[in-house]
Structure 1
C-alpha cells in the first residue's frame, strides 16, 4: 500500500490476511496478540505515510484525523510528533466521537440536502460508492 504513489488505500487485504493467520496460527493468546500488534503497526505506518504524502502534496500545515481509526493512541502520538516536527497541527474529535465514517456520511448528506439534492429511499448499497456518483 505504501509503495503506491497516490493517497488511496484499502486495508481489506490486510484484514483478511490477519484473520486467516489467526485462524491457522492463533492457538495461543500471545500469538493472537502478536498478530494484532503487527496489524496495528501496519495500519499506523500506512496512515503516517499517506498523511505525510498528502501534506507534502498540498503544503498544508493542518491535519484532521477522523473516523474510528483516529481513536488509536499510537496513531495520535505519532501524528502529533510528525506535525510538531513539521511546524503544523493535528486535530481530532474526542475518542468517544471517533466512530466509523458516520460523521462524514452525515455531513455529505447535509450538504446534499442544502443544495436541494434528493434521492429515493430505494438506494442500492455499494461498499465503495464515490460520493460524486450518488444519484441526485
Structure 2
C-alpha cells in the first residue's frame, strides 16, 4: 500500500507534506497523516470490512458481478435518488475509524425485503449503497483534514477510481485532492 500512497509524489505537482492520505481498496480503508517518506501516522482504519470489499459483497448480493465497485457504479447510474437512505456508519461519533459491515447487512436486508428484485430495485439499492459509502469516506476525510490542519488529500487504491467519490471530494472539500495514477 505504501506504493499507492507515494505514487502521487512522482507527479508533476506532488502534494506538500504533511498531507492526509485515504487508502481505499478491497483490502484496506485507512486514513494516514503523511509527514514525510516513511513517516506516517495512522489516524483511522476500518474495524471490519474495507470499502472495496463492501462494494464487492454488495454487488454479489444484488447479482451485479465482479469487480463490485464498477458494477455498483454502473447500476447506480439508473438508480432513483431518495428511494432509500442507507446509514453512514460511524459518522455520528468522534474518531476516524470506518465500519462497512453494517452497511452490507442493511443492503442485504433491503434486497431481501423486495425479492424478487427488479432491475430498477437493483439500481436503486446500488445508488443508495454507493451514496452511503461515498458520504462516509467524504465525512471522514473532511474530519481528518480539519483535525490535522492539512490542506492536501491523497486518495489511492482501487476505490479511488469511483467517479462519485472523486466528484464529491473535489467539489466539497476545502483542500487540494490528488489521486494516484
TM-score range, shorter chain: 0.5 to 0.7
Structure 2 CA distance for aligned equivalents of residues 23 and 67 of structure 1: 31
Structure 1 residue 12, shift from structure 2 partner: 1.2
Listed as ranges, the matches of 1:17-96 within 5 Å are 17-26=106-115, 27-83=117-173, 86=174, 88-94=175-181
Task: Name the structure where strand makes up a greater proportion of residues.
Answer: 2
Larger radius of gyration: 1
State the structure with bigger RCO (CA 8 A, min sep 6), 1 or 2: 2
Can you give the 5+ residue segments of structure 1 that lack an aligned partner in the other structure? 95-136
Q: Provide the residue aligned with 1:104 in structure 2.
A: none
Structure 2 CA distance for aligned equivalents of residues 42 and 78 of structure 1: 12
Q: Write out per-residue CA displacement over residues 100-126 of structure 1, whole angstroms, 9 at most, x where no aligned residue.
A: xxxxxxxxxxxxxxxxxxxxxxxxxxx
Can you give the 5+ residue segments of structure 2 that lack an aligned partner in the other structure? 1-89
Structure 1 residue 22, shift from structure 2 partner: 1.8
TM-score (norm 2): 0.47
Structure 1 CA distance for aligned equivalents of residues 91 and 108 of structure 2: 21
TM-score (norm 1): 0.62
